[in-house]
Amino acid sequence: MSITAPTGVLAGVGRFTPPRRYLPVLGTFALFIGMFGVGGIRYEGFADPQVFLTLLLDNAFLIVLAVGMTFVILTGGIDLSVGSNVALSTLIAARTLELGWPVVTVIGVVLLAGTLLGTAMGLLIHYFDIQPFIATLAGMFLARGLCYLISVDSIPIKNETFSAIAFGSITLPGGYYLGWTAVFALVIVGIAAYVLASTRFGRTVYALGGSEPSALLMGLPVAVTKVGVYAISGFCAALGGLLFALYTLSGYSLHAVGMELDAIAAVVIGGTLLTGGRGFVVGSLLGVLVLGTIQTFISFDGTLSSWWTRITIGVLVLVFVVLQRVLTRRS
């Protein structure tokens, strides 16, 4: 029983393994709770559950974007095109509604367009070995350019169904309410978490992020998975775009400028390793909530300037990146 000797040590390591895998997410969760707690003590009305529910509503589109981004980053890639994709989606929706298309068709067209854009980038990345950074940069330019072709000016959305969804909410016990769009976002998070944790596709995503050559040698469907994550990210960006259109009730080519950065930051703060292979969708949800809380903080405070948001996000990204560097180095 030679293996018993190392097993003694291994068992020790083994006991700590599950917490360590969840450590970054737990960290983000603690951070979020801590920030909310501090806010609750410092500002009146901050601890009100409605503040939290509004946080979800205000960031519904970003949550969906972060979900798509999580898939991509888990494989070790990156998607810079999501912000432009959101803008394009709002414009397609606004323009087609203006033309009087039925709502269902509009939604279908938007989702299809976003998914196609994502798929095209995935194909470039996988089959032509173009780096994700560059391929999605091209996608970013393309989507932004298409926006201007559709309309340079902002197009308002006056569709009744859209307004109804935008302002619709579920009433919760205690007189609180949760907006429909927030519910959509949470459903997406749930589906994504299920797919990543419990389907072959999801596990292959993690395997790709762990080691692509190994995944190939293990005979996993690398091509489908790699193109798939970009398609999913495109789909999520389009969906995020629809939610953003609902939020602003307009389509505009200058919507969501730089939003890809927020999505990436949320994913990183949510504990996902930018090199791939490690992370959870729930973490990204928490990451978005942390970003949202920073903004809520600033709006409650009144004396803090808005730029502290960016600086805080930068510092948080740094802390998580360095922490993960230390964690991976130790293993």
Partner 1 sequence: MSQAEVTPPRPVVEMRDVSITFGTVRALDQVSLRLLPGEVHALMGENGAGKSTLIKALTGVYTIDSGQVDVDGVETQFATPAAAQHAGISTVYQEVNLVPNLTVAENMLLGREPRRLGRILRREMNRRAADSLQALGIDVDPTSELGSHPIAVQQLVAIARAVDTDARVLILDEPTSSLDADEVARLFEVMRRLREEDTAIVFVSHFLDQVFEIADRMTILRNGRVVGERMVAETTQLELVQLMIGRDLQALERIDHAAQEVAEAEETGEAAAQRLPVLSAVGLGRKGSLEATDLTLYAGEVVGIAGLLGSGRTELARLLFGADAADTGDLSIEGSSRRRLRSPRHAIDRNLAFCSEDRKAEGVFEELSVADNMLLGLQASRGWLRPIPPATRATLVAEFMTALDIRPADPSLPMRSLSGGNQQKVLLARWLITEPDVLLLDEPTRGIDIGAKTQIQQLVVDLAEKGMSVVFISAELEEVLRLSHRLVVLKDRRKIAERPNVDISVNDVLEIITGEPGGLAEKERVDA
Partner 2 sequence: MPDPRTSGTGRTGRALAGRAFAHRLFWPLAALGALLVVNVIATPTFFNVRIQDGHLFGSLVDIVRNGAPVLLVAIGMTLVIATRGIDLSVGAVAAIAGAVACVYIVKSPASGAAGTAIVAITTALAVCVALGLWNGFLVSVIGIQPIIATLVLMVAGRGIAMLVTGGQITTVNNDTFAALASGYLLTLPVAALIALGVFAATQVVVRRTALGMLIESVGINPEASRLAGVRSRTIIWTVYVFAALCAGTAGLIIAANTHSVNANSLGLWIELDAILAVVIGGTSLAGGRFSLAGSLVGAMLIATLTRTIPNIGIPAEANYLFKALVVVMVCLLQSPKARAVLQRRGERPAGPPSPSSREEAVA
- Contact pattern for partner 1 over residues 277 through 306, marking x by CB under 8 A: xx----------------------------
Burial label for 151, CB within 10 Å (0-12, 13-18, 19+), is middle
Closest CB to partner 1 among residues 13, 152: 13
Give the start-end residues of each E strand in 197-319: 250-251
Give the interface segment with partner 2, choosing from 27-35, 48-56, 94-102, 133-141 (CB under 8 A).
133-141
3-class DSSP assignment, residue 169 = strand
State which of residues 1, 41, 99, 326 lies at the interface with partner 1 (CB under 8 A): 1
Yes or no: say if 83 and 284 are a contact pair by the CB < 8 Å rule.
no
Query: Shortest Cβ distance from residue 328 to partner 2 (Å)?
Result: 10
Nearer residue to partner 1 within complex by CB, 4 or 306: 4
Question: Which among partner 2, partner 1, none contacts residue 171 (Cβ within 5 to 8 A by kind)?
Answer: none
Regarding 41 and contact with partner 1 (CB under 8 A), the answer is no
Tokens coding 266: 């949320």
Q: Per rule CB under 8 A, is residue 10 in the interface with partner 2?
A: no
Judged by CB under 8 A, does residue 70 bind partner 1?
no
Phi, psi of 87 (to 5 degrees): -60, -45
Is residue 131 at the binding interface for partner 2, with CB under 8 A as the rule? yes
**139 binding partner 2? (CB under 8 A):** yes
Residues 6+ apart with CB under 8 A from 14: none
Dihedral in degrees, nearest 10, Cα atoms 314, 55, 284, 147: -80
Q: Please, what sign has the CA dihedral across residues 100, 103, 109, 113? A: positive
Residue 250 CA to residue 244 CA, distance in Å, equals 8
Q: Indicate the SS3 state at residue 170.
A: strand
CB closer to partner 1, 12 vs 302: 12
| Residue among 320, 268, 254 nearest 91 (CA) | 254
Partner from partner 1, partner 2, none binding residue 123, C-beta < 5-8 Å depending on class: none
How far apart (Å, rounded) are the C-alpha atoms in residues 174 and 177?
9
Residues that bind partner 1 (CB under 8 A): 1-4, 6-7, 10-11, 13-14, 17-18, 21, 198-200, 203-204, 206-207, 209-211, 213-220, 277-278, 331
Binding residues for partner 2 (CB under 8 A): 78, 124, 127-131, 133-135, 137-142, 144-146, 148-149, 152, 212-213, 216-217, 222, 253, 257-258, 261, 264-265, 268, 274-275, 305-315, 317-318, 321-322, 325, 329
